[in-house]
Structure 1
Amino acid sequence: MDCGTLINMHERRKISGRTKAALARLQGKGFMWNTKLGFRHIIRTDGSVTEHEGLTWVFRCGDDIDLPNWHPGAQKCNVRTVYNGKYAEVVATYGVPGWTNSPCDVSTHFPLNPLATGLIHQPDARWISGRHRKVCCYGDAVLCTDIRTRWIFGAWQHSLDEEEMCFVDDNLATKRRLLRKSIDGRSAIFFDDTPNEDDLVYLVMRFA
């Protein structure tokens, strides 16, 4: 198996050959993969930002949460921007030009969100989706920060129960989070950094 097809180039420059081989083996067995994730926060209309509400896939950072203004008819935008000097993404509902006071527009039912509006209109902001540009955000918005590729250990192709996942987590040393029922109702271990060699040896010996 060519681990170059499994590990992105940025990671390949940072890790040893043994680590790459172990990661590739675990990936090949369906236990581990890497993907871009970030921490999800909520931007309230009063300008406050909640502590992070867990990890989320960047491409769906606003899809797996239910906010009052997230109704089917609301117009949404997804914008790459900068928050506290670092790359972030914002998903927000906005008022459609010409729809002011319309029963169908979020501006009629929810207050202005000044922070979200400012973030989507920063000079370096890049719009990923959204039909309109010169708009204001209304209602709570989703903010995704600390976006980077992370390694995930899971058992979607295998039958590891909750107790066994907890046991595996207890035997690891790399900084990580065990999130219960995080993906498709199953638990997974999300590594903040590339797993160290001792952790990978343990995982390979046990599962691969």
Structure 2
Amino acid sequence: MRVDTDDFARPRGCGKNHLVEVEKILIEPGAVNALEEAMSEGFLKEYISPLLICDTNTCKATEELMEDIYDRCQVLVLDADDLKADRHAVEIVENYMDEDIDLILAVGAGTIHDISRYVASQYKIPFVSVPTAASGDGFVSTTAVMTFNGIEEEVPAAVPVALYADTDIFAKAPAGLNAAGAAELSDEKISLSLIEEGNPEACEKLMYALIKSGFSGQAEGE
């Protein structure tokens, strides 16, 4: 499913067009192959020093399918145990990343995306979203939920230049993660039982609905 981002930039009930900064959204099996193509010969080929940020769980879930992408990136694998989007995680990224990093790939769910979008914003580096679970609507968010000095807060952050959601990856996420995403929505057309079973079509519908919800949040300044 190639999502037309223009659908999210057309006039809403308020009569205004809302800015959408995400250039491409792809939700389908094999989406990471399209990402690799974009990096090798497409609109992302200008970025020659990408940093891929994942955690130990999402690395295990993606490294085989994304082998060619891992090979072309500097890769930072964060420990998934008790991982938080906080100052400590940001410092790990800052200490690891080379000075010439020009693109960040967030390969994970909410926490990895918050860390990645915050760092991308601070260093004015574009980032690409690669969701590994349909666990929430924050993949295209304009803010990151960060914990600083023990206080959780929303801070301005970067919007991804592109989102590649590979059904072969996110439909196989732990059932509880995708169920959490479904719980955020009130769409009765999305079957929770099919989501928990990892049904590809149901998971794709969920991912689309979450991204649509995220764009609605963008329009409201969230």
Considering fraction of residues, name the structure with more strand. 1
Structure with bigger RCO (C-alpha 8 Å, 6+ apart):
1
Q: Normalized against structure 1, the TM-score is what?
A: 0.22
Which of structures 1 and 2 has the bigger CA Rg?
Answer: 1
Considering fraction of residues, name the structure with more helix. 2
